[in-house]
């Protein structure tokens, strides 16, 4: 496994801060002793313990959960690191102090002081090792939670597809049956759009993202099918700038919003209305809007809390966190506007 040197640097800085805190605590309990020697000894001891434990753990097979060696290897590494840190750290610190003349009168530690230093080193080494062990395990659990959320999002997507597809398919087949006898040419056009829509749906079900162009093509086939069913009561516009056509977006992102507009906005309105689906760039964000001229709040789910809208919000939260969101506005008799904002894929 590759070593994350940026993380190692962060760990080292944390260790150095911890060493300075230990030196400050020692001085607070023994103000009669100079402050500088505990700082030098603490930094040498702590740095060596960190180097042995945090760098040495990559020499052993490690657990995926913590990144630490399993069994006695992990315990032995901590014990060895503490022993090496104390023995080598104290020798190097004392040699440096004497050689540079920083503390020429530095006395040999008394027996009681020696025991206290060993105890402090052991406790501090165990505490620091447990801290980094816990941090690694917490990061692992966070990754697993993210994977679980992604899997849940995929399951919700499949559930959403299972609810959307049969409803649309049955209505389309019913209209197709009528058109075969009354208007064969329109029936042929409807059948072509249905084949294209189902083919796009099958492709989308095998991937978690696709291009915005593919999303708009799928919406175009779907809206053509709805136009055959609703006739002149449905007018739609798809506005996709060429420079955004290859942007990656989650599959089945906009269709629940379009279905919401048709089911709750245009179908209850006698004269029907228009649906406009548009995409634009706003800084580092991709803004997708589905607006209609339907009945507005008279037919829309309260505050946009329908099943499809809820799933869109949850998928955006799972995939992008706070960087994405869905805003839903509606007015009586003036239609609704669902605005989705997500980061531009780089």
Beta strands 273-282 and 234-239 are parallel
Sorted by sequence, the CB contacts under 8 Å of residue 135 that are 6+ apart come out as none
Task: Of 101, 2, 4, 16, give the one whose Cα is nearest residue 50.
Answer: 16
> Whole-angstrom Cα distance, residue 224 to residue 240?
17
Task: Of 125, 36, 119, give the one whose Cα is nearest residue 82.
Answer: 125
> Whole-angstrom Cα distance, residue 216 to residue 146?
29
Q: Is this model's pTM higher than 0.75 or not?
A: no
Residue 25 has a pLDDT of 83
Residue 162 has a pLDDT of 47
3-state secondary structure 109-131: CCHHHHHHHHHHHHHHHHHHHHH
- Helix, strand, coil percent content, the chain, rounded in steps of 5: 65, 15, 20
pLDDT in tens, the chain (346 residues): 567 788 788 888 888 888 888 888 877 877 777 777 788 888 888 888 888 888 887 777 765 556 677 777 777 888 888 888 888 888 888 887 777 666 655 555 544 566 777 777 888 878 777 777 777 777 777 777 766 666 655 555 555 554 445 556 666 677 677 677 777 877 777 777 777 777 766 665 566 788 999 899 889 888 888 887 788 899 999 999 999 999 999 887 898 899 888 888 898 888 889 999 999 999 999 999 999 998 876 655 544 555 567 778 888 887 888 889 899 888 766 789 999 999 987 6
Distant-in-sequence contacts of 70-79, Cβ < 8 A, 24+ apart: 77/52, 77/53, 78/53, 78/125, 78/126, 78/129
Contact 218, 197 (CB under 8 A): yes
Task: Of 22, 27, 25, give the one whose Cα is nearest residue 42.
Answer: 22
Residue 286 has a pLDDT of 94
Strands (E), 172-307: 209-211, 234-239, 248-250, 273-282, 285-292
Does domain 183-343 fall under CATH 3.30.565.10? My reply is yes
- Inter-axis angle of helices 72-100 and 36-50, nearest 10: 140
Question: Can you read off the two tokens belonging to residue 295?
Answer: 């009945």
Residue 163 has a pLDDT of 47
> In 10 A of CB 67, how many CB atoms?
19
Residue 289 has a pLDDT of 94
> Whole-angstrom Cα distance, residue 275 to residue 32?
81
> Whole-angstrom Cα distance, residue 215 to residue 210?
7
Question: Can you read off the two tokens belonging to residue 281?
Answer: 């760039």
Which sequence spans correspond to the domains of the chain? 5-144, 183-343
CA distances from 279 to 198, 224, 245, 255 (A): 23, 19, 9, 14
């Amino acid at each position: 496994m590759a070593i994350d040197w940026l993380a190692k640097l962060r760990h080292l800085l944390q260790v150095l801060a911890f060493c300075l805190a230990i030196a400050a605590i020692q001085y607070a309990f023994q103000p009669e002793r100079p402050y500088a020697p505990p700082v030098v000894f603490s930094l040498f001891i702590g740095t060596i313990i960190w180097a042995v434990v945090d760098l040495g753990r990559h020499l052993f097979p490690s657990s995926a959960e913590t990144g630490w060696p399993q069994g006695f290897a992990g315990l032995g590494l901590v014990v060895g690191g503490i022993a090496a840190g104390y023995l080598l750290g104290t020798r190097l610190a004392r040699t440096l102090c004497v050689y540079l003349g920083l503390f020429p009168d530095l006395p040999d530690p008394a027996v009681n002081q020696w025991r206290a230093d060993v105890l402090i080193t052991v406790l501090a080494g165990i505490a620091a090792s447990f801290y980094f062990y816990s941090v690694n395990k917490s990061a692992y659990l966070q990754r697993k939670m993210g994977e679980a959320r992604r899997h849940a999002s995929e399951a919700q997507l499949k559930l959403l597809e299972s609810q959307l597809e049969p409803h649309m398919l049955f209505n389309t087949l019913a209209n197709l049956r009528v058109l075969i006898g009354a208007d064969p040419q329109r029936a042929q056009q409807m059948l072509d759009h249905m084949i294209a829509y189902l083919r796009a749906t099958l492709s989308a079900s095998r991937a978690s993202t696709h291009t915005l162009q593919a999303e708009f093509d799928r919406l175009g086939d779907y809206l053509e099918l709805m136009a055959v069913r609703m006739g002149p009561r449905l007018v739609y516009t798809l506005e996709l700038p060429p420079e955004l056509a290859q942007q990656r977006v989650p599959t089945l992102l906009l269709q629940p919003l379009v279905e919401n507009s048709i089911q709750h906005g245009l179908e209850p309105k006698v004269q029907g209305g228009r649906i406009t689906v548009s995409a634009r760039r706003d800084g580092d964000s991709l803004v997708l809007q589905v607006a209609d001229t339907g009945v507005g709040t008279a037919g829309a789910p309260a505050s946009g809390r329908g099943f499809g809208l809820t799933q869109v919000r949850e998928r955006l939260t799972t995939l992008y966190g706070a960087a994405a969101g869905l805003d839903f506005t509606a007015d009586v008799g003036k239609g609704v506007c669902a605005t989705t904002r997500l980061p531009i894929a780089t």
